[in-house]
Structure 1
Protein backbone atom coordinates (compact mmCIF):
# COMPACT_ATOMS: atom_id res chain seq x y z
CA UNK A 1 0.00 0.00 0.00
CA UNK A 2 1.11 3.54 -0.66
CA UNK A 3 1.38 6.55 1.58
CA UNK A 4 2.04 10.26 1.43
CA UNK A 5 5.54 11.42 2.22
CA UNK A 6 6.10 15.02 3.30
CA UNK A 7 8.52 17.52 1.80
CA UNK A 8 8.04 20.87 3.47
CA UNK A 9 4.39 21.65 2.84
CA UNK A 10 4.20 19.15 -0.04
CA UNK A 11 2.45 15.79 0.13
CA UNK A 12 3.66 13.26 -2.46
CA UNK A 13 1.90 9.92 -2.86
CA UNK A 14 4.49 7.15 -2.96
CA UNK A 15 4.46 3.36 -3.24
CA UNK A 16 7.35 0.95 -2.78
CA UNK A 17 7.62 -2.79 -3.46
CA UNK A 18 10.32 -5.45 -3.65
CA UNK A 19 13.85 -6.04 -2.41
CA UNK A 20 17.19 -5.38 -4.00
CA UNK A 21 18.95 -2.39 -5.58
CA UNK A 22 16.81 0.74 -5.49
CA UNK A 23 14.90 1.93 -8.56
CA UNK A 24 12.91 5.17 -8.84
CA UNK A 25 10.17 5.30 -11.51
CA UNK A 26 9.03 8.72 -12.80
CA UNK A 27 5.88 9.08 -14.89
CA UNK A 28 4.88 11.67 -17.44
CA UNK A 29 1.86 13.88 -18.02
CA UNK A 30 -0.86 13.10 -15.50
CA UNK A 31 0.68 9.76 -14.65
CA UNK A 32 0.45 8.01 -11.34
CA UNK A 33 1.96 4.98 -9.65
CA UNK A 34 -0.45 2.78 -11.61
CA UNK A 35 1.18 3.63 -14.93
CA UNK A 36 4.15 1.48 -13.79
CA UNK A 37 2.10 -1.54 -12.70
CA UNK A 38 3.82 -3.95 -15.10
CA UNK A 39 7.20 -2.94 -13.68
CA UNK A 40 6.04 -3.05 -10.06
CA UNK A 41 4.72 -6.54 -10.69
CA UNK A 42 7.49 -7.76 -12.99
CA UNK A 43 10.69 -6.47 -11.37
CA UNK A 44 10.02 -6.59 -7.63
CA UNK A 45 11.70 -9.99 -7.33
CA UNK A 46 15.02 -8.32 -8.18
CA UNK A 47 14.74 -4.65 -7.17
CA UNK A 48 13.19 -2.37 -4.58
CA UNK A 49 11.02 -0.14 -6.76
CA UNK A 50 9.65 3.24 -5.72
CA UNK A 51 7.01 5.07 -7.75
CA UNK A 52 5.10 8.24 -6.99
CA UNK A 53 2.33 10.47 -8.29
CA UNK A 54 3.74 13.64 -9.82
CA UNK A 55 2.47 16.94 -8.43
CA UNK A 56 -1.05 17.61 -9.67
CA UNK A 57 -1.58 13.97 -10.66
CA UNK A 58 -3.45 11.31 -8.75
CA UNK A 59 -3.09 11.64 -5.01
CA UNK A 60 -0.35 14.33 -5.04
CA UNK A 61 -1.93 17.79 -4.96
CA UNK A 62 -0.78 20.56 -7.24
CA UNK A 63 0.81 23.36 -5.19
CA UNK A 64 0.09 27.00 -5.82
CA UNK A 65 2.43 28.98 -8.04
CA UNK A 66 4.27 28.13 -11.23
CA UNK A 67 4.85 24.49 -12.12
CA UNK A 68 8.33 23.72 -13.43
CA UNK A 69 10.29 20.62 -14.34
CA UNK A 70 12.95 21.75 -11.86
CA UNK A 71 10.35 21.63 -9.06
CA UNK A 72 9.21 18.18 -10.18
CA UNK A 73 12.82 16.97 -10.14
CA UNK A 74 13.15 18.29 -6.61
CA UNK A 75 9.99 16.34 -5.71
CA UNK A 76 11.68 13.17 -6.97
CA UNK A 77 14.76 13.90 -4.87
CA UNK A 78 12.52 14.56 -1.86
CA UNK A 79 10.91 11.13 -2.27
CA UNK A 80 14.32 9.44 -2.13
CA UNK A 81 15.40 11.50 0.87
CA UNK A 82 12.19 10.83 2.78
CA UNK A 83 12.57 7.10 2.22
CA UNK A 84 16.22 7.10 3.23
CA UNK A 85 17.46 6.10 -0.24
CA UNK A 86 20.93 7.49 -0.91
CA UNK A 87 20.85 6.72 -4.65
CA UNK A 88 18.77 4.79 -7.15
CA UNK A 89 18.55 3.67 -10.73
CA UNK A 90 16.10 6.17 -12.25
CA UNK A 91 13.70 5.39 -15.10
CA UNK A 92 11.35 7.95 -16.61
CA UNK A 93 9.16 8.17 -19.68
CA UNK A 94 8.01 11.14 -21.75
CA UNK A 95 7.72 14.13 -19.43
CA UNK A 96 9.04 11.87 -16.69
CA UNK A 97 12.19 11.39 -18.75
CA UNK A 98 12.61 15.17 -18.74
CA UNK A 99 12.18 15.15 -14.96
CA UNK A 100 14.76 12.35 -14.79
CA UNK A 101 17.25 14.37 -16.84
CA UNK A 102 16.76 17.35 -14.55
CA UNK A 103 17.08 15.15 -11.46
CA UNK A 104 20.47 13.95 -12.73
CA UNK A 105 21.53 17.55 -13.33
CA UNK A 106 20.28 19.02 -10.04
CA UNK A 107 20.92 16.04 -7.76
CA UNK A 108 23.61 13.96 -9.46
CA UNK A 109 24.59 12.05 -6.33
CA UNK A 110 21.18 10.36 -6.05
CA UNK A 111 21.18 8.96 -9.61
CA UNK A 112 23.02 5.65 -10.12
CA UNK A 113 21.83 5.33 -13.72
CA UNK A 114 19.21 6.66 -16.12
CA UNK A 115 16.70 4.93 -18.37
CA UNK A 116 15.05 7.56 -20.56
CA UNK A 117 12.05 6.32 -22.55
CA UNK A 118 10.52 8.54 -25.25
CA UNK A 119 12.55 11.59 -24.38
CA UNK A 120 13.82 14.84 -25.89
CA UNK A 121 16.40 17.55 -25.05
CA UNK A 122 14.10 20.39 -26.13
CA UNK A 123 10.87 20.27 -28.07
CA UNK A 124 11.19 20.59 -31.82
CA UNK A 125 8.46 22.48 -33.75
CA UNK A 126 6.50 19.29 -34.40
CA UNK A 127 6.41 18.22 -30.74
CA UNK A 128 5.67 21.77 -29.65
CA UNK A 129 2.69 21.93 -31.98
CA UNK A 130 1.40 18.59 -30.71
CA UNK A 131 1.67 19.83 -27.09
CA UNK A 132 -0.29 22.96 -28.02
CA UNK A 133 -2.97 20.73 -29.51
CA UNK A 134 -3.19 18.58 -26.36
CA UNK A 135 -3.31 21.76 -24.25
CA UNK A 136 -6.33 22.86 -26.29
CA UNK A 137 -7.88 19.37 -26.21
CA UNK A 138 -7.68 19.19 -22.42
CA UNK A 139 -9.90 22.25 -22.15
CA UNK A 140 -12.12 21.72 -25.17
CA UNK A 141 -12.88 17.99 -25.20
CA UNK A 142 -16.56 17.38 -24.41
CA UNK A 143 -15.76 14.53 -22.02
CA UNK A 144 -12.90 12.71 -20.34
CA UNK A 145 -13.45 9.80 -22.70
CA UNK A 146 -13.22 12.05 -25.76
CA UNK A 147 -9.97 13.55 -24.46
CA UNK A 148 -8.40 10.14 -23.83
CA UNK A 149 -9.54 8.74 -27.17
CA UNK A 150 -7.92 11.65 -29.00
CA UNK A 151 -4.80 11.80 -26.85
CA UNK A 152 -4.06 8.08 -27.01
CA UNK A 153 -4.00 8.12 -30.82
CA UNK A 154 -0.44 9.43 -30.53
CA UNK A 155 0.57 7.38 -27.48
CA UNK A 156 -0.17 3.75 -28.30
CA UNK A 157 0.48 1.68 -31.42
CA UNK A 158 -2.30 0.84 -33.90
CA UNK A 159 -1.85 -2.71 -32.61
CA UNK A 160 -2.91 -1.64 -29.12
CA UNK A 161 -5.91 0.26 -30.45
CA UNK A 162 -7.02 -2.69 -32.58
CA UNK A 163 -6.59 -5.46 -30.00
CA UNK A 164 -8.60 -3.72 -27.28
CA UNK A 165 -5.68 -2.66 -25.10
CA UNK A 166 -6.41 1.06 -25.43
CA UNK A 167 -10.12 0.58 -24.79
CA UNK A 168 -9.26 -1.23 -21.55
CA UNK A 169 -6.83 1.51 -20.50
CA UNK A 170 -9.52 4.14 -21.13
CA UNK A 171 -12.06 2.26 -19.02
CA UNK A 172 -9.58 2.02 -16.14
CA UNK A 173 -8.69 5.69 -16.44
CA UNK A 174 -12.34 6.73 -16.33
CA UNK A 175 -12.94 4.53 -13.27
CA UNK A 176 -9.81 5.84 -11.49
CA UNK A 177 -10.98 8.01 -8.56
CA UNK A 178 -7.98 10.38 -8.38
CA UNK A 179 -8.16 12.29 -11.65
CA UNK A 180 -5.98 15.15 -12.86
CA UNK A 181 -8.01 18.26 -13.61
CA UNK A 182 -7.84 19.77 -17.10
CA UNK A 183 -6.26 22.87 -15.56
CA UNK A 184 -3.48 20.85 -13.90
CA UNK A 185 -2.94 18.95 -17.16
CA UNK A 186 -2.45 22.28 -18.92
CA UNK A 187 -0.10 23.60 -16.23
CA UNK A 188 2.05 20.47 -16.50
CA UNK A 189 2.10 20.71 -20.29
CA UNK A 190 3.23 24.32 -20.01
CA UNK A 191 6.16 23.24 -17.82
CA UNK A 192 7.23 20.50 -20.23
CA UNK A 193 6.88 22.78 -23.26
CA UNK A 194 9.42 25.37 -22.15
CA UNK A 195 11.94 23.07 -20.48
CA UNK A 196 15.33 22.55 -22.12
CA UNK A 197 18.31 20.43 -21.21
CA UNK A 198 19.93 20.61 -24.64
CA UNK A 199 22.96 22.62 -23.57
CA UNK A 200 23.44 20.87 -20.21
CA UNK A 201 23.23 17.17 -20.97
CA UNK A 202 27.00 16.82 -21.23
CA UNK A 203 27.10 17.37 -17.45
CA UNK A 204 25.30 14.07 -16.81
CA UNK A 205 27.78 11.38 -15.84
CA UNK A 206 25.39 8.59 -14.81
CA UNK A 207 25.28 5.53 -17.10
CA UNK A 208 22.36 6.13 -19.44
CA UNK A 209 20.11 4.06 -21.70
CA UNK A 210 17.86 5.99 -24.09
CA UNK A 211 14.95 4.10 -25.70
CA UNK A 212 12.74 5.36 -28.51
CA UNK A 213 9.74 3.93 -30.32
CA UNK A 214 10.22 3.75 -34.07
CA UNK A 215 6.61 4.76 -34.75
CA UNK A 216 6.26 7.27 -31.92
CA UNK A 217 4.80 10.40 -33.59
CA UNK A 218 5.56 12.63 -30.59
CA UNK A 219 8.98 11.89 -29.05
CA UNK A 220 10.25 10.53 -32.34
CA UNK A 221 13.61 8.73 -32.49
CA UNK A 222 15.60 11.75 -33.68
CA UNK A 223 14.82 13.50 -30.39
CA UNK A 224 15.98 10.53 -28.31
CA UNK A 225 19.13 10.27 -30.40
CA UNK A 226 19.87 13.94 -29.70
CA UNK A 227 19.72 13.20 -25.96
CA UNK A 228 21.97 10.14 -26.19
CA UNK A 229 24.56 11.95 -28.31
CA UNK A 230 24.98 14.61 -25.62
CA UNK A 231 25.38 12.27 -22.63
CA UNK A 232 28.80 10.71 -22.57
CA UNK A 233 28.71 6.96 -23.14
CA UNK A 234 24.92 6.77 -23.40
CA UNK A 235 23.40 3.81 -25.23
CA UNK A 236 20.58 4.48 -27.71
CA UNK A 237 18.06 2.01 -29.09
CA UNK A 238 15.09 2.35 -31.41
CA UNK A 239 12.36 -0.28 -31.09
CA UNK A 240 11.04 -0.07 -34.61
CA UNK A 241 7.52 -1.46 -34.08
CA UNK A 242 6.79 0.42 -30.84
CA UNK A 243 5.35 3.83 -30.05
CA UNK A 244 5.48 6.07 -26.97
CA UNK A 245 4.94 3.57 -24.14
CA UNK A 246 6.48 0.15 -24.82
CA UNK A 247 6.93 -0.41 -21.08
CA UNK A 248 3.14 -0.91 -21.05
CA UNK A 249 2.61 -2.52 -24.47
CA UNK A 250 5.55 -4.97 -24.38
CA UNK A 251 6.42 -4.98 -20.67
CA UNK A 252 8.27 -8.31 -20.65
CA UNK A 253 10.68 -7.08 -23.33
CA UNK A 254 11.07 -3.68 -21.66
CA UNK A 255 11.63 -5.15 -18.21
CA UNK A 256 14.22 -7.59 -19.53
CA UNK A 257 16.12 -4.82 -21.29
CA UNK A 258 16.28 -2.45 -18.34
CA UNK A 259 17.09 -5.34 -15.99
CA UNK A 260 20.07 -6.22 -18.19
CA UNK A 261 21.16 -2.57 -18.21
CA UNK A 262 20.89 -2.23 -14.43
CA UNK A 263 22.80 -5.49 -13.92
CA UNK A 264 25.55 -4.17 -16.18
CA UNK A 265 25.74 -0.96 -14.14
CA UNK A 266 25.83 -2.90 -10.87
CA UNK A 267 28.60 -5.16 -12.20
CA UNK A 268 30.59 -2.20 -13.49
CA UNK A 269 30.47 -0.46 -10.12
CA UNK A 270 31.26 -3.58 -8.13
CA UNK A 271 27.86 -3.83 -6.45
CA UNK A 272 26.37 -7.34 -6.04
CA UNK A 273 23.92 -8.15 -8.82
CA UNK A 274 20.22 -8.29 -7.97
CA UNK A 275 18.86 -11.66 -6.98
CA UNK A 276 16.87 -13.84 -9.31
CA UNK A 277 13.53 -15.08 -8.05
CA UNK A 278 14.87 -18.64 -7.79
CA UNK A 279 17.99 -17.72 -5.82
CA UNK A 280 16.37 -18.43 -2.46
CA UNK A 281 13.04 -18.66 -0.74
CA UNK A 282 12.42 -15.03 0.17
CA UNK A 283 9.40 -13.29 -1.38
CA UNK A 284 9.11 -9.53 -1.86
CA UNK A 285 6.00 -7.59 -1.02
CA UNK A 286 3.77 -7.30 -4.06
CA UNK A 287 1.40 -4.53 -5.07
CA UNK A 288 -2.26 -5.30 -5.66
CA UNK A 289 -3.01 -7.02 -8.96
CA UNK A 290 -4.10 -4.80 -11.81
CA UNK A 291 -5.15 -5.93 -15.25
CA UNK A 292 -3.68 -2.90 -16.95
CA UNK A 293 -1.95 0.31 -15.81
CA UNK A 294 -3.73 3.64 -15.77
CA UNK A 295 -1.71 6.42 -17.36
CA UNK A 296 -1.35 8.96 -20.09
CA UNK A 297 2.17 9.85 -21.10
Structure 2
Protein backbone atom coordinates (compact mmCIF):
# COMPACT_ATOMS: atom_id res chain seq x y z
CA UNK A 1 0.00 0.00 0.00
CA UNK A 2 1.01 3.61 -0.64
CA UNK A 3 -0.31 6.44 1.53
CA UNK A 4 -1.72 9.47 -0.28
CA UNK A 5 -3.77 12.27 1.30
CA UNK A 6 -4.90 9.98 4.08
CA UNK A 7 -5.86 7.20 1.65
CA UNK A 8 -4.35 3.77 1.19
CA UNK A 9 -3.70 2.99 -2.47
CA UNK A 10 -3.08 -0.63 -3.42
CA UNK A 11 -1.20 -1.99 -6.41
CA UNK A 12 0.06 -5.16 -8.05
CA UNK A 13 3.75 -5.35 -8.92
CA UNK A 14 5.59 -8.10 -10.78
CA UNK A 15 8.80 -8.48 -12.78
CA UNK A 16 12.01 -6.53 -13.13
CA UNK A 17 13.10 -4.07 -15.78
CA UNK A 18 11.87 -0.75 -17.17
CA UNK A 19 8.69 0.22 -15.29
CA UNK A 20 5.28 0.12 -16.98
CA UNK A 21 2.34 1.42 -14.91
CA UNK A 22 -1.16 0.39 -15.98
CA UNK A 23 -4.28 2.40 -15.11
CA UNK A 24 -7.65 0.66 -15.32
CA UNK A 25 -10.93 2.08 -16.56
CA UNK A 26 -14.13 2.86 -14.70
CA UNK A 27 -15.91 -0.11 -13.08
CA UNK A 28 -12.59 -1.93 -12.89
CA UNK A 29 -9.49 -2.38 -10.77
CA UNK A 30 -5.92 -3.54 -11.18
CA UNK A 31 -7.02 -7.08 -12.00
CA UNK A 32 -8.09 -5.81 -15.43
CA UNK A 33 -4.43 -6.02 -16.41
CA UNK A 34 -3.94 -9.70 -15.57
CA UNK A 35 -2.84 -10.66 -19.13
CA UNK A 36 -0.23 -7.90 -19.00
CA UNK A 37 0.96 -8.74 -15.48
CA UNK A 38 1.37 -12.37 -16.57
CA UNK A 39 3.19 -11.80 -19.84
CA UNK A 40 5.11 -8.50 -19.75
CA UNK A 41 6.78 -9.19 -16.41
CA UNK A 42 9.47 -11.18 -18.20
CA UNK A 43 11.08 -7.92 -19.35
CA UNK A 44 9.48 -5.10 -17.36
CA UNK A 45 8.52 -4.04 -13.86
CA UNK A 46 4.75 -4.14 -14.35
CA UNK A 47 2.57 -2.21 -11.90
CA UNK A 48 -1.23 -2.05 -11.97
CA UNK A 49 -2.84 0.17 -9.38
CA UNK A 50 -6.23 -0.04 -7.71
CA UNK A 51 -7.13 3.63 -7.92
CA UNK A 52 -8.77 5.28 -4.88
CA UNK A 53 -12.24 3.80 -4.54
CA UNK A 54 -11.42 0.60 -6.42
CA UNK A 55 -10.15 -2.86 -5.56
CA UNK A 56 -8.27 -2.96 -2.26
CA UNK A 57 -7.79 0.82 -2.02
CA UNK A 58 -9.57 3.21 0.34
CA UNK A 59 -12.97 4.66 -0.53
CA UNK A 60 -12.85 7.73 -2.73
CA UNK A 61 -13.80 10.93 -0.84
CA UNK A 62 -16.89 12.76 -2.11
CA UNK A 63 -14.83 15.84 -3.02
CA UNK A 64 -12.16 13.90 -4.96
CA UNK A 65 -11.27 15.47 -8.29
CA UNK A 66 -9.29 14.48 -11.36
CA UNK A 67 -6.25 16.31 -10.03
CA UNK A 68 -6.47 14.27 -6.81
CA UNK A 69 -6.33 11.05 -8.81
CA UNK A 70 -3.24 12.37 -10.61
CA UNK A 71 -1.51 13.29 -7.34
CA UNK A 72 -2.24 9.85 -5.84
CA UNK A 73 -0.86 8.18 -8.96
CA UNK A 74 2.24 10.35 -8.65
CA UNK A 75 2.59 9.21 -5.03
CA UNK A 76 2.55 5.58 -6.16
CA UNK A 77 5.17 6.16 -8.86
CA UNK A 78 7.38 8.13 -6.47
CA UNK A 79 6.99 5.75 -3.51
CA UNK A 80 7.97 2.76 -5.64
CA UNK A 81 10.83 4.76 -7.20
CA UNK A 82 9.57 3.98 -10.68
CA UNK A 83 9.75 7.34 -12.40
CA UNK A 84 10.04 8.23 -15.10
CA UNK A 85 7.83 5.32 -16.18
CA UNK A 86 5.85 4.17 -19.16
CA UNK A 87 2.29 5.17 -18.18
CA UNK A 88 -0.51 3.19 -19.83
CA UNK A 89 -4.17 4.07 -19.30
CA UNK A 90 -7.32 2.46 -20.68
CA UNK A 91 -10.49 4.53 -21.13
CA UNK A 92 -10.95 6.55 -17.87
CA UNK A 93 -7.42 5.43 -16.97
CA UNK A 94 -6.09 7.29 -20.00
CA UNK A 95 -7.81 10.43 -18.78
CA UNK A 96 -6.02 9.99 -15.45
CA UNK A 97 -2.74 9.47 -17.34
CA UNK A 98 -3.21 12.77 -19.16
CA UNK A 99 -3.86 14.54 -15.87
CA UNK A 100 -0.69 12.98 -14.43
CA UNK A 101 1.23 14.39 -17.39
CA UNK A 102 -0.32 17.82 -16.80
CA UNK A 103 0.86 17.98 -13.19
CA UNK A 104 3.84 15.60 -13.02
CA UNK A 105 5.44 15.35 -16.48
CA UNK A 106 8.79 14.44 -14.92
CA UNK A 107 7.32 11.07 -13.86
CA UNK A 108 6.29 10.14 -17.42
CA UNK A 109 8.76 8.51 -19.79
CA UNK A 110 6.14 7.64 -22.40
CA UNK A 111 2.36 7.62 -22.64
CA UNK A 112 0.33 4.65 -23.84
CA UNK A 113 -3.23 5.84 -24.33
CA UNK A 114 -5.64 2.97 -24.91
CA UNK A 115 -9.20 3.45 -26.21
CA UNK A 116 -9.43 6.59 -24.14
CA UNK A 117 -10.70 10.18 -24.04
CA UNK A 118 -9.50 13.68 -23.28
CA UNK A 119 -12.52 13.55 -21.01
CA UNK A 120 -15.94 12.92 -22.53
CA UNK A 121 -16.47 16.66 -22.95
CA UNK A 122 -13.12 16.90 -24.72
CA UNK A 123 -13.68 13.99 -27.10
CA UNK A 124 -17.37 13.28 -27.73
CA UNK A 125 -20.31 15.23 -29.20
CA UNK A 126 -22.40 17.03 -26.60
CA UNK A 127 -25.46 14.88 -27.31
CA UNK A 128 -23.46 11.70 -26.70
CA UNK A 129 -22.13 13.05 -23.42
CA UNK A 130 -25.66 13.90 -22.33
CA UNK A 131 -26.90 10.42 -23.24
CA UNK A 132 -24.13 8.84 -21.19
CA UNK A 133 -24.83 11.09 -18.21
CA UNK A 134 -28.49 10.12 -18.31
CA UNK A 135 -27.59 6.44 -18.58
CA UNK A 136 -25.25 6.74 -15.61
CA UNK A 137 -27.98 8.49 -13.61
CA UNK A 138 -30.39 5.61 -14.25
CA UNK A 139 -27.75 3.02 -13.39
CA UNK A 140 -26.86 4.71 -10.10
CA UNK A 141 -30.50 5.19 -9.14
CA UNK A 142 -31.16 1.43 -9.17
CA UNK A 143 -31.72 -0.33 -5.83
CA UNK A 144 -28.52 -1.85 -4.38
CA UNK A 145 -29.57 -5.40 -5.26
CA UNK A 146 -30.14 -4.34 -8.89
CA UNK A 147 -27.03 -2.21 -9.36
CA UNK A 148 -25.19 -3.29 -12.52
CA UNK A 149 -22.01 -1.34 -13.33
CA UNK A 150 -21.48 -2.98 -16.73
CA UNK A 151 -21.10 -0.25 -19.35
CA UNK A 152 -22.47 -0.94 -22.85
CA UNK A 153 -20.24 -1.55 -25.84
CA UNK A 154 -17.09 -2.75 -24.09
CA UNK A 155 -16.34 -5.59 -26.51
CA UNK A 156 -16.64 -6.05 -30.26
CA UNK A 157 -18.56 -9.27 -29.61
CA UNK A 158 -19.20 -11.37 -26.55
CA UNK A 159 -16.74 -10.91 -23.68
CA UNK A 160 -13.81 -13.33 -24.01
CA UNK A 161 -14.87 -16.53 -22.22
CA UNK A 162 -11.52 -16.87 -20.45
CA UNK A 163 -12.01 -13.53 -18.73
CA UNK A 164 -15.71 -13.70 -17.85
CA UNK A 165 -14.99 -14.83 -14.25
CA UNK A 166 -12.56 -11.94 -13.87
CA UNK A 167 -15.08 -9.45 -15.28
CA UNK A 168 -17.79 -10.78 -12.97
CA UNK A 169 -15.49 -10.48 -9.96
CA UNK A 170 -14.60 -6.88 -10.81
CA UNK A 171 -18.25 -5.99 -11.39
CA UNK A 172 -19.17 -7.42 -7.99
CA UNK A 173 -16.52 -5.23 -6.34
CA UNK A 174 -17.60 -1.92 -7.90
CA UNK A 175 -18.67 0.73 -5.39
CA UNK A 176 -21.52 2.97 -6.58
CA UNK A 177 -19.94 6.05 -5.00
CA UNK A 178 -16.74 5.42 -6.96
CA UNK A 179 -18.69 4.98 -10.18
CA UNK A 180 -20.60 8.20 -9.52
CA UNK A 181 -17.36 10.14 -9.02
CA UNK A 182 -15.60 8.64 -12.04
CA UNK A 183 -18.44 9.23 -14.48
CA UNK A 184 -19.16 12.75 -13.24
CA UNK A 185 -15.52 13.73 -13.63
CA UNK A 186 -15.27 12.09 -17.03
CA UNK A 187 -18.39 13.90 -18.27
CA UNK A 188 -16.98 17.32 -17.34
CA UNK A 189 -13.33 16.78 -18.24
CA UNK A 190 -11.91 18.53 -21.30
CA UNK A 191 -8.16 17.94 -21.61
CA UNK A 192 -7.69 19.06 -25.18
CA UNK A 193 -5.33 21.75 -23.92
CA UNK A 194 -2.93 19.08 -22.63
CA UNK A 195 -2.55 17.18 -25.89
CA UNK A 196 -0.36 19.66 -27.84
CA UNK A 197 1.97 20.01 -24.84
CA UNK A 198 2.91 16.33 -24.76
CA UNK A 199 6.58 15.96 -25.63
CA UNK A 200 7.17 12.32 -24.65
CA UNK A 201 6.74 9.43 -27.11
CA UNK A 202 3.04 8.55 -27.19
CA UNK A 203 1.40 5.35 -28.38
CA UNK A 204 -2.29 5.47 -29.25
CA UNK A 205 -3.56 1.90 -29.06
CA UNK A 206 -7.13 1.45 -30.25
CA UNK A 207 -9.59 -1.33 -30.92
CA UNK A 208 -10.78 -1.18 -34.51
CA UNK A 209 -14.39 -1.78 -33.43
CA UNK A 210 -14.45 0.40 -30.33
CA UNK A 211 -17.88 2.04 -30.13
CA UNK A 212 -17.34 3.80 -26.79
CA UNK A 213 -14.27 5.72 -27.93
CA UNK A 214 -14.37 5.30 -31.70
CA UNK A 215 -11.45 5.71 -34.04
CA UNK A 216 -12.52 9.29 -34.71
CA UNK A 217 -11.32 10.05 -31.16
CA UNK A 218 -8.01 8.31 -31.87
CA UNK A 219 -7.58 10.49 -34.94
CA UNK A 220 -8.21 13.59 -32.84
CA UNK A 221 -5.45 12.49 -30.48
CA UNK A 222 -3.09 11.70 -33.33
CA UNK A 223 -3.62 15.12 -34.86
CA UNK A 224 -3.18 16.98 -31.56
CA UNK A 225 -0.24 15.12 -29.96
CA UNK A 226 3.08 15.81 -31.70
CA UNK A 227 4.84 12.72 -33.06
CA UNK A 228 2.24 10.30 -31.68
CA UNK A 229 1.88 6.81 -33.14
CA UNK A 230 -1.49 5.14 -33.73
CA UNK A 231 -1.80 1.35 -33.78
CA UNK A 232 -5.23 -0.17 -34.45
CA UNK A 233 -5.98 -3.69 -33.22
CA UNK A 234 -8.26 -5.51 -35.70
CA UNK A 235 -11.39 -7.11 -34.29
CA UNK A 236 -11.05 -5.48 -30.86
CA UNK A 237 -13.49 -3.25 -29.03
CA UNK A 238 -13.01 -0.89 -26.09
CA UNK A 239 -11.22 -3.31 -23.74
CA UNK A 240 -8.60 -4.36 -26.25
CA UNK A 241 -6.14 -5.66 -23.64
CA UNK A 242 -8.57 -8.49 -22.80
CA UNK A 243 -10.12 -9.02 -26.21
CA UNK A 244 -6.84 -9.24 -28.13
CA UNK A 245 -4.15 -9.68 -25.45
CA UNK A 246 -1.48 -11.13 -27.74
CA UNK A 247 -1.60 -8.22 -30.17
CA UNK A 248 -1.92 -5.75 -27.31
CA UNK A 249 1.07 -7.14 -25.40
CA UNK A 250 3.25 -7.36 -28.48
CA UNK A 251 2.56 -3.73 -29.39
CA UNK A 252 3.21 -2.47 -25.85
CA UNK A 253 6.38 -4.54 -25.58
CA UNK A 254 7.79 -3.24 -28.86
CA UNK A 255 6.94 0.37 -28.04
CA UNK A 256 8.45 0.26 -24.54
CA UNK A 257 11.61 -1.49 -25.77
CA UNK A 258 11.98 1.17 -28.46
CA UNK A 259 11.84 3.95 -25.85
CA UNK A 260 13.60 2.40 -22.86
Q: Same fold (TM over 0.5)?
A: yes
**Structure 2 CA distance, aligned partners of 1:54 and 1:138?**
21
RMSD of the TM alignment (CA)?
A: 2.1
Give per-residue Cα distances to partners, 1:71-102, cap 9 Å, x unaligned.
Answer: 11111111011112231011000000011111
Q: Which residue of the other structure, out of 227, 237, 245, is the alignment partner of 1:233?
A: 227
Matched, 1:217 2:214: no
Q: Which residue of 1 aligns with 2:136?
A: 135
**Structure 2 CA distance, aligned partners of 1:143 and 1:165?**
28
Give per-residue Cα distances to partners, 1:139-176, cap 9 Å, x unaligned.
Answer: 2445677725xx35411121x34x645754443335x5
Aligned-partner SS, 1:84: coil
Per the TM alignment, residue 205 of structure 1 is displaced from its structure 2 partner at its CA by 0.7
Q: Is the 8 A contact 2:62 2:181 kept in 1?
A: no
Greater CA deviation, 129-138 or 84-93? Answer: 129-138
**Structure 1 CA distance, aligned partners of 2:139 and 2:4?**
29
| 1:1-297 matches, cutoff 5 A | 4-121=1-118, 122-124=122-124, 125=126, 127-141=128-142, 147-148=148-149, 151-158=150-157, 160-161=158-159, 164=161, 167-173=164-170, 179-266=173-260
Q: Is the 8 A contact 1:28 1:96 kept in 2?
A: yes
Q: Is the 8 A contact 2:28 2:170 kept in 1?
A: no
**Structure 2 CA distance, aligned partners of 1:33 and 1:202?**
29
**Structure 1 CA distance, aligned partners of 2:205 and 2:246?**
15
Question: Alpha carbons of 1:145 and 1:259: their partners in 2 closer, same or farther (altered >3 Å)?
Answer: farther
Give per-residue Cα distances to partners, 1:175-216, cap 9 Å, x unaligned.
Answer: x5xx23212211111011111111221111110011222221
**Structure 2 CA distance, aligned partners of 1:152 and 1:144?**
17
**Structure 2 CA distance, aligned partners of 1:166 and 1:110?**
32
**Structure 2 CA distance, aligned partners of 1:5 and 1:221?**
36
Question: Alpha carbons of 1:66 and 1:165: their partners in 2 closer, same or farther (altered >3 Å)?
Answer: same
Q: Unaligned regions of 5+ residues in structure 1, if any? A: 267-297
Per the TM alignment, residue 103 of structure 1 is displaced from its structure 2 partner at its CA by 1.0
**Structure 2 CA distance, aligned partners of 1:227 and 1:19?**
31
**Structure 2 CA distance, aligned partners of 1:19 and 1:166?**
26
**Structure 1 CA distance, aligned partners of 2:123 and 2:221?**
12
Computing the radius of gyration from Cα coordinates, the structure with the larger value is 1
TM-score, structure 1 normalization = 0.79
